């Protein structure tokens, strides 16, 4: 029994006309020798379908239906007869709707996705936050929706990875309905994408998002009229509050069930000449049986005229591929002669013309422009003289708050951990288990969990800057400097994101169109100090620089930034060669970030951090503890025991390598352990120094810092070696997951390996310089 018919456009129409409708029975009558085509019996006709076509029809088999029947009859009181239950299965299966959000970057797709799918994906007020398809689902009016958030694109050509990705998704996954999210405050550019989606001939609805801004602007838009002109139902939405999401999904059901009246397929008129050419190419394509890899014939024809490489590849595989390409070339020549423009430009112009025409009919603009506020703020923030000081001040404020505000909750957690440790200490019998709990788990996990508040504060700031639109300005004012380094203004956003976590930052480099800048950015992102390195700094700074906490931290981050500048310069001259492309970057209007979004984003990070604590950090703490505990000799002092343990032996082995940097074996071990995740550097120190507890007396002026800081202050490290250590932690190789991200994004292991090697060498050189030069001065 047919559960669902996929595919769209002419193909779908044809197959439905043949009688392949939800709830109808089909039988396989005959298999051709190679299983292609297959003959079916449907509504007493016999129809033969090619395999590719048959794949577009989802059926429920007798067996599946019986399974379902069994489940149902397990529930008492339900008796279903044979045909009925199969119908019910078909019905249930057919009530799964796959919808995909497609739209320009920054138009609010992810906001809508989060509301609809009750998800917590990252929204940000700049392009390119979403780089992958994110999937969620929800139930509504008896239907189950699988919802997909796709990366933002301006167009559906084959120029950028996002464009190809979105196109491929639409074609291969054939979503039942596409939700074209449109930024109502920027209709012209957004509708250009809509025009291309219309060419694709896919079932579609428009979410007219940012409708609140349109309302406030005083412009009036005749939504019904626009919907009628485009043949696409339009529902106004506000992604930030969720207004309009229910009507949107209600309409989707209507479209899915074929009840929607506005929805129809229109042909965008490209003008007499172009239409004639499109028709000529399309006619040849149509000589082949549908579906042409699921693309509508018209879409293929238009894309061919636009010199789309991917579509050329598809068409060349058709039996009359040669002929089609030849015809395309002829058409292009004619266009060139008549319009004195290449066909690609002519098609783009025609599409914009269509959009402008539609808007002229439906949109009445109010002359006073509401974006005055944005302009006024920008006058300061992107000012030639004020831009940088404002930026630096904001960064400093961030670090300052990370410390001062974070101090209070940090103290609470710290005393909580201390209390727990005391309790176990006084109530448990001595033995390895007690040692494991106190010196292993509590010292390791407890040592880093206290930094949860600091990390959340840091994230709250980053999130606020992203969401308000400031980050895009920061990228803008940095563009000139970035260019000098062979980078791109857009590289700046991944770099700042790197302060949070390097992995999403590396993924965010995808928005940089230019290959060279992209690779360069990826290589230097690891120099941005991620939040996982923060605990080490806080411990060390608390121990050795209690008077200048924020300033020292600022200095460390600054060293990372300076090093990234130096490295980018070197790499663009010697490693990654080639020209970089000019700068195009949008400045989205400022938007007051919704508190909900900032809180949610921050909490997500907090949750991730806690999860890491419970898994990898816990495991690492136990392993490090065990390596430090065995072989165990009760009679030795703590320090001696540690030195002769496995970890002591390992540490001693690496000590010669790091002694020029002023580091000792315990730091060496922490650094090695930190390759798995940078938090482990701190947790390992917690375990390794925990055994000093009994000996360490409380230092007077360190009341404000964590317990661990107080121990480390007595450990024989000096402020100089401590600083060298922080520099090493800052610069040495990124954690393994980040290396894997570099491999995935660059496509080559070579670059991941290169990054690991150069960062570690750089760390060694810089730490050594700090220590050796410092030693001369001090
Ligand atoms: P995406 O790039 O399309 O996924 O867009 P996001 O969902 O990340 O949103 C971009 C920015 O627009 C964020 O700052 C959102 O808070 C904001 N935003 C989203 N929807 C609306 C809306 O309907 N009205 C207003 N005023 N802002 C919105
Ligand atoms: Mg997004």
Is the CB of 114 inside a 6 Å radius of any atom of ligand 1?
A: no
Task: Tell which residue, 482, 577, 576, 564, has the closest CA to residue 524.
Answer: 564
Residue with the bigger pLDDT between 704 and 511: it is: 511
Q: How far apart are CA 544 and CA 725, in angstroms?
A: 12
Is the CB of 182 inside a 6 Å radius of any atom of ligand 1?
A: no
**CA 772, 775, 777 angle in degrees (round to 5)?**
115
Q: Quick one: pLDDT at residue 368?
A: 56
**Backbone phi, psi, residue 193, to 5°:** -65, -40
Under 8 Å CB-to-CB from 659, ≥6 apart: which residues? none
Q: Are 133 and 173 in contact (CB under 8 A)?
A: no
Is the CB of 505 inside a 6 Å radius of any atom of ligand 1?
A: no
Q: How far apart are CA 464 and CA 595, in angstroms?
A: 9
Q: Which helix (H) or strand (E) holds 644?
A: helix 638-644
Q: 276: which 2 tokens?
A: 């004639």
253 cis-preceded (ω within 30 degrees of 0): no
pLDDT beyond 60 at 700? no
Q: How far apart are CA 201 and CA 348, in angstroms?
A: 18
Q: How confident is the model at residue 698 (pLDDT cuts 50, 70, 90)?
A: very low
Q: 305: which 2 tokens?
A: 């005229």
Q: How far apart are CA 761 and CA 759, in angstroms?
A: 5
Residue with the bigger pLDDT between 168 and 757: it is: 757
* Helical segments of 45-157, H only: 51-54, 62-74, 82-94, 109-117
Q: How confident is the model at residue 586 (pLDDT cuts 50, 70, 90)?
A: low
Count of CB atoms situated within 10 Å of the CB of 685: 30
**Highest mean pLDDT (candidates 202-206, 291-295, 348-352, 643-647):** 202-206
CA atoms within 13 A on the CB side of 713: 23
DSSP state of 677: -
- The percent of residues above 70 in pLDDT, for the chain, comes to 91
Q: Quick one: pLDDT at residue 250?
A: 94
Q: Which helix (H) or strand (E) holds 649?
A: helix 646-658
Going through 237-362 in order, the beta strands assigned E by DSSP cover: none
Q: How far apart are CA 311 and CA 158, in angstroms?
A: 9
Under 8 Å CB-to-CB from 258, ≥6 apart: which residues? none
Is the CB of 109 inside a 6 Å radius of any atom of ligand 1?
A: yes
291 cis-preceded (ω within 30 degrees of 0): yes
Mean pLDDT calculated for residue range 405-414 = 83
Q: 259: which 2 tokens?
A: 């009840």
Which residue has its alpha carbon closest to ligand 1 atom 5?
Answer: 108
Q: Quick one: pLDDT at residue 108?
A: 92
Mean pLDDT calculated for residue range 230-235 = 94
Q: How confident is the model at residue 92 (pLDDT cuts 50, 70, 90)?
A: confident
Q: Are 258 and 12 in contact (CB under 8 A)?
A: no
> Residue length, the chain?
778
Which residue has its alpha carbon closest to ligand 1 atom 22?
Answer: 210
Q: Quick one: pLDDT at residue 762?
A: 96
Task: Tell which residue, 195, 205, 291, has the closest CA to residue 256.
Answer: 205
Instruction: Kindly give the distance from the C-alpha atom of residue 343 to the centroid of ligand 2, in angstroms, as a whole number.
Output: 32
pLDDT beyond 90 at 263? no
Q: Quick one: pLDDT at residue 697?
A: 41
Q: Quick one: pLDDT at residue 83?
A: 60
Q: Quick one: pLDDT at residue 333?
A: 92
Best mutation site among 240, 473, 594 for ligand 1 pocket (most ligand atoms within 8 Å of CB): 240
Q: Residue 466 CA: which ligand 1 atom is closest?
A: 14
Q: Are 407 and 452 in contact (CB under 8 A)?
A: no
Is the CB of 463 inside a 6 Å radius of any atom of ligand 1?
A: no
Q: Residue 127 CA: which ligand 1 atom is closest?
A: 2
Helix axes 719-731, 549-574, angle to 10 degrees: 40
Q: How far apart are CA 23 and CA 87, in angstroms?
A: 6
**Highest mean pLDDT (candidates 72-81, 91-100, 215-224, 257-266):** 215-224
Q: How far is CA 282 from the centre of its chain?
A: 38
Q: How far is CA 488 from the centre of its chain?
A: 20
Q: Are 665 and 648 in contact (CB under 8 A)?
A: yes
Which residue has its alpha carbon closest to ligand 1 atom 9?
Answer: 108
The string of pLDDT tens digits covering residues 329-377 is 999 999 888 877 888 888 988 888 888 888 888 888 775 555 677 778 8
Which ligand is nearest the CA of 103, by number? 1
Q: How confident is the model at residue 3 (pLDDT cuts 50, 70, 90)?
A: confident
Which ligand is nearest the CA of 131, by number? 2
pLDDT beyond 50 at 695? no
Under 8 Å CB-to-CB from 299, ≥6 apart: which residues? 199, 200, 201
The string of pLDDT tens digits covering residues 555-578 is 999 999 899 989 998 998 888 877
The string of pLDDT tens digits covering residues 134-175 is 888 889 988 999 999 998 888 888 777 788 889 888 988 889
pLDDT beyond 80 at 306? yes
Q: How far apart are CA 388 and CA 408, in angstroms?
A: 31
Q: Quick one: pLDDT at residue 8?
A: 64
DSSP string, 511-529: G--SHHHHHHHHHHGGGS-
Average pLDDT in the chain: 83
Best mutation site among 101, 104, 111 for ligand 1 pocket (most ligand atoms within 8 Å of CB): 111
Is the CB of 529 inside a 6 Å radius of any atom of ligand 1?
A: no
Q: 583: which 2 tokens?
A: 């700068």
**Backbone phi, psi, residue 419, to 5°:** -60, -45
Lowest mean pLDDT among 66-75, 94-103, 580-589: 580-589
Q: Quick one: pLDDT at residue 475?
A: 80
Give exposure, 104-143, as e/b (b: 16+ Cβ within 10 Å): bbbbbbbbbbbbbbebebbbbbbbbbbbeebebbbebeeb
Best mutation site among 213, 591, 598, 601 for ligand 1 pocket (most ligand atoms within 8 Å of CB): 591
Instruction: Kindly give the distance from the C-alpha atom of residue 202 to the centroid of ligand 1, in angstroms, as a whole number.
Output: 25
Instruction: Kindly give the distance from the C-alpha atom of residue 766 to the centroid of ligand 2, in angstroms, as a whole number.
Output: 38
**CA 707, 713, 717 angle in degrees (round to 5)?**
140
37 cis-preceded (ω within 30 degrees of 0): yes
Is the CB of 111 inside a 6 Å radius of any atom of ligand 1?
A: yes
Q: How far apart are CA 79 and CA 687, in angstroms?
A: 64
Instruction: Kindly give the distance from the C-alpha atom of residue 123 to the centroid of ligand 1, in angstroms, as a whole number.
Output: 7
Instruction: Kindly give the distance from the C-alpha atom of residue 493 to the centroid of ligand 2, in angstroms, as a whole number.
Output: 15
pTM above 0.85, yes or no: no
pLDDT beyond 90 at 324? yes
Which residues lie across from 24 on neighbouring strands? none
Q: Quick one: pLDDT at residue 473?
A: 82
Under 8 Å CB-to-CB from 595, ≥6 apart: which residues? none
Which residue has its alpha carbon closest to ligand 1 atom 21?
Answer: 239
Q: Residue 212 CA: which ligand 1 atom is closest?
A: 24
Q: How far apart are CA 728 and CA 194, in angstroms?
A: 51
Which residue has its alpha carbon closest to ligand 1 atom 8?
Answer: 123
Is the CB of 152 inside a 6 Å radius of any atom of ligand 1?
A: yes
Under 8 Å CB-to-CB from 326, ≥6 apart: which residues? none
Q: 680: which 2 tokens?
A: 């482990």
Count of CB atoms situated within 10 Å of the CB of 764: 19
Q: How far apart are CA 744 and CA 507, in angstroms?
A: 9
Is the CB of 239 inside a 6 Å radius of any atom of ligand 1?
A: yes
Token pair 């006073």 is found at 368
DSSP string, 684-720: HHHHHHHTTTTTPPPPGGGTTS-HHHHHHTTTT--HH
**Backbone phi, psi, residue 519, to 5°:** -65, -45
Which residue has its alpha carbon closest to ligand 1 atom 6?
Answer: 108
| Local structure of 249: helix, strand or coil | helix
Instruction: Kindly give the distance from the C-alpha atom of residue 593 to the centroid of ligand 1, in angstroms, as a whole number.
Output: 9
CA atoms within 13 A on the CB side of 765: 7
């Amino acid at each position: 029994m047919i559960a669902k018919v996929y595919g769209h456009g002419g193909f779908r129409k044809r197959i439905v006309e043949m009688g392949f409708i939800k709830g109808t029975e089909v039988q396989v009558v005959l298999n051709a020798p190679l299983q292609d085509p297959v003959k079916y019996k449907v509504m007493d006709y016999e129809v033969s379908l090619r395999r590719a076509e048959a794949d577009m029809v989802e059926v429920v088999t007798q067996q599946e239906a019986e399974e379902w029947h069994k489940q149902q009859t397990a529930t008492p009181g339900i008796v279903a007869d044979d045909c009925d239950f199969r119908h019910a299965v078909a019905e249930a299966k057919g009530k799964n709707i796959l919808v995909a959000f497609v739209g320009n970057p920054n138009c609010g797709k992810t906001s809508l996705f989060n509301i609809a799918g009750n998800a917590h994906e990252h929204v940000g007020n700049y392009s390119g936050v979403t780089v992958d398809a994110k999937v969620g689902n929800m139930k509504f009016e008896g239907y189950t929706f699988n919802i997909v958030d796709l990366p933002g694109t301006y167009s559906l050509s084959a120029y950028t990875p996002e464009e190809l990705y979105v196109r491929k998704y639409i074609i291969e996954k054939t979503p039942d309905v596409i939700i074209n999210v449109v930024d109502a405050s920027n209709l012209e550019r957004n509708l250009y994408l809509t025009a291309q989606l219309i060419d694709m001939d896919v079932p579609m609805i428009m979410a007219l998002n940012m409708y609140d801004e349109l309302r406030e602007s005083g412009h009036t838009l005749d939504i019904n009229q626009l919907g009628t002109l485009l043949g696409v139902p339009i529902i106004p939405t506000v992604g930030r509050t969720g207004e309009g999401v229910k009507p949107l999904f209600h309409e989707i059901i209507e479209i899915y069930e074929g009840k929607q009246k506005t929805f129809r397929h229109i042909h965008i008129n490209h003008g007499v000449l172009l239409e004639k050419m499109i028709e000529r190419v399309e006619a040849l394509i149509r000589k082949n049986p549908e579906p042409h890899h699921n693309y509508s014939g018209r879409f293929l024809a238009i894309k061919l005229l636009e010199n789309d490489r991917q579509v050329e590849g598809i068409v060349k595989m058709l039996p009359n591929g040669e002929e089609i390409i030849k015809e395309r070339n002829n058409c292009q020549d004619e266009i060139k002669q008549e319009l004195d423009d290449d066909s690609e430009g002519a098609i783009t112009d025609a599409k914009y013309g269509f959009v402008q025409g539609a808007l002229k009919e439906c949109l009445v603009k109010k002359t006073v422009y509401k974006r005055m506020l944005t302009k006024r703020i920008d006058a300061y923030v992107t000012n030639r003289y004020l831009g940088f000081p404002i930026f630096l001040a904001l960064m400093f404020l961030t670090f300052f708050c990370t410390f001062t505000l974070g101090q209070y909750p940090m103290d609470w957690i710290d005393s909580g951990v201390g209390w727990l440790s005391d309790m176990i200490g006084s109530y448990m019998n001595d033995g390895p288990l007690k040692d494991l709990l106190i010196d292993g788990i509590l010292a390791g996990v407890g040592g880093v969990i206290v930094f949860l508040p600091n990390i959340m504060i840091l994230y709250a700031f980053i999130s606020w800057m992203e969401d308000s639109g400031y980050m895009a300005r920061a990228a803008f004012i940095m563009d000139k400097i970035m260019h000098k380094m062979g980078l791109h203004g857009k590289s700046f956003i991944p770099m700042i994101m790197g302060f949070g976590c390097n992995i999403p930052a590396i993924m965010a480099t995808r928005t940089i169109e230019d290959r060279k800048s992209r690779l360069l950015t990826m290589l230097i992102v690891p120099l941005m100090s991620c939040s996982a390195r923060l605990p080490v700094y806080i411990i060390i700074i608390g121990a050795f620089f209690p008077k200048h906490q924020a300033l020292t931290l600022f200095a460390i981050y600054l060293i990372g930034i300076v090093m990234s500048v130096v490295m980018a310069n070197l790499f663009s001259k010697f490693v990654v060669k080639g020209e970089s492309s000019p700068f195009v970057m949008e400045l989205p209007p400022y938007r007051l970030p919704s508190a909900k979004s900032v809180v949610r984003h921050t909490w997500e990070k907090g949750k991730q951090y806690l999860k890491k604590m419970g898994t990898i950090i816990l495991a690492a703490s136990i392993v490090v503890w065990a390596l430090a505990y065995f072989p165990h000799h009760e009679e030795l002092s703590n320090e001696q025991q540690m030195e002769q343990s496995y970890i002591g032996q390992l540490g001693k082995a690496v000590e010669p390598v790091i002694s020029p940097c002023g580091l000792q074996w315990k730091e060496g071990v922490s650094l090695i352990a930190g390759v798995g995740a940078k938090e482990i550097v701190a947790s390992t120190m917690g375990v390794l120094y925990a055994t000093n507890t009994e000996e360490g007396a409380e230092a007077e002026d360190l009341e404000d810092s964590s317990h661990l800081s107080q121990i480390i202050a007595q450990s024989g490290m000096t402020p100089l070696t401590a600083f060298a250590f922080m520099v090493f932690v800052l610069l040495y190789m990124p954690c393994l997951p980040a290396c894997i991200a570099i491999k995935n994004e660059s496509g080559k292991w070579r670059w991941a390996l290169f990054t690991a090697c150069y960062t570690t060498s750089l760390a060694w050189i810089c730490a050594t310089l700090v220590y050796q030069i410092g030693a001369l001065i001090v």
